[in-house]
Each structure stands twice: as C-alpha cells, then as structure tokens.
A and B are shown apart, each in its own frame.
Chain A
C-alpha cells in the first residue's frame, strides 16, 4: 500500500518530571490505529523512559513503563535507543525493558524490538522517515 508512511517519534525527555514522555506515548497509541509504519527513537534523557524497575507508588502518578511494553501489540515495529546517551548515563541494554512484537497475520515474532544504535544509524533512520514527531 503506497499511502503507508514511516512515522518516527523522537523522545528526548525524562519521564515523570515533565509531561513530554506521557504525551508522546499517548500520540503513539492514537496513531497506531491508522496502520502506519511506526518507530520510536530514544535519545538523551529520553532513554530514561524505558529503564526498567520503575515504582511510582509513592508519587501519586501512573507508572507508564508497562505501557511501553505493550507497544509491540499496537504495531510499533522498532524502538531504537542511542548508544551514546545510554553510555553517558551509565546504562546498558540490560537496564532497559524488553518489548515483544508479533504479526498476527504472518505469525512472525520478534522477542525484543528494543535496539541500541549509534549516531550514524540514527541519522540514517531519521532521514529515511517520512514524518518525525519530536517530544
């Protein structure tokens, strides 16, 4: 289908301190209903959005880390994470949540769509996207 566009959601803010991460997630979930090719990119403090082990019980805020885990079910095919942003924050892929993906029609499965990429790959991925939404 020729009218499928590549959407890239570029996330650069930490969760909970500001509303950006949650708003981005909302837009991704809404956009997922339109059968487009959706990818997420996590750069700078955005990598903190998908760090596992979040516990907001003392904060009076919804813990939305579990929502990221469902994104594969909403048709999100790729979640890219900037390697340098992780390294600057003392994090590795082991600190991040895993998100599974499955194509209901072809039964193709991917255990984890979270992928660490370098600057060059990110530049290419952004350039190849039809639309980039920044949060």
Chain B
C-alpha cells in the first residue's frame, strides 16, 4: 500500500493540501485533519483540488469535521469520514505517514 498523507492546514490559508496532492503518488491515501478538513467541503473556491485529484483516496477525520459545523452532505463526493480508530487503521495499512503541515 502507498503512503498516507496527513494535511492539517486550511487550504484557503496554506498550500499544504495542494502540495500533498501534487507530490503524492498514484494510490495514495490523503487524510484531512484539524483545519485541513475545510479541503473536503464541496462548492468552495478550492474544492477542485480534491474533486479533480484522480487515483487518490481522500479521508476526513469526523471529529474535526463536526467541530467545524460541516454537515456530511456538504462534503465532496468520494471523501470518506473516519474516526480516530479509522485514522489508526490507515496508519497501519499504509507504508508510512507523511505529514504535510
């Protein structure tokens, strides 16, 4: 399994998400956490980053999504919500973790 990329910064403020996608390989898992979850919202000025990234699987940490008042129906299609146990599963399944801050 390819690497797990975590992104914890808002895509409106930093280009961490853009770079994580750009420098990831086919088959990568990209997990949005903390302010990174704003990258999972549909209908924003930066939604295309995730919506147009092919060959990557996107996840968002449910606790962070809920804390920010983002309802599930506002997430980009294909983004999967995970809880903390799911986060751990991803870490175990993937070769290694790359943190994009």
Contacts and interface: CB of A to CB of B under 8 A. Distances in A.
Nearest to B42: A90
Nearest to A56: B67
Nearest to A85: B12
Given A44-B13, A45-B10, A58 B35 contact: no
B12 A65 contact: no
Contact of B44 (A14, A58, A88): A88
A90 B69 contact: no
A18 B69 CA distance: 16
Interface residues of A, number: 26
Contacts, number: 75
Interface stretch (B48-56, B58-66, B92-100): B58-66
B66 A56 contact: yes
B44 A54 contact: no
A2 interface: no
Nearest to A58: B63
Q: Among B46, B66, B74, which residue has the most Cβ atoms of chain A within 10 A?
A: B66
Contact of B8 (A13, A17, A53, A87): A17
Contacts of B18: none
Interface of B: 8-10, 12-13, 34-35, 38, 41-47, 62-64, 66-71, 74, 83
Given A14-B35, A65-B69, A88-B12, 8 more contacts: A14-B13, A15-B68, A45-B35, A48-B68, A51-B69, A58-B62, A61-B67, A89-B38
What 3 A-B pairs are tightest by C-beta distance, nearest first? A17-B35, A90-B43, A58-B63
26 contacts: A14-B13, A14-B35, A14-B38, A17-B8, A17-B10, A18-B35, A44-B13, A45-B10, A45-B35, A45-B38, A48-B68, A52-B69, A54-B66, A54-B67, A55-B69, A58-B66, A59-B64, A61-B67, A87-B45, A88-B12, A88-B45, A88-B46, A89-B38, A89-B44, A90-B47, A90-B74
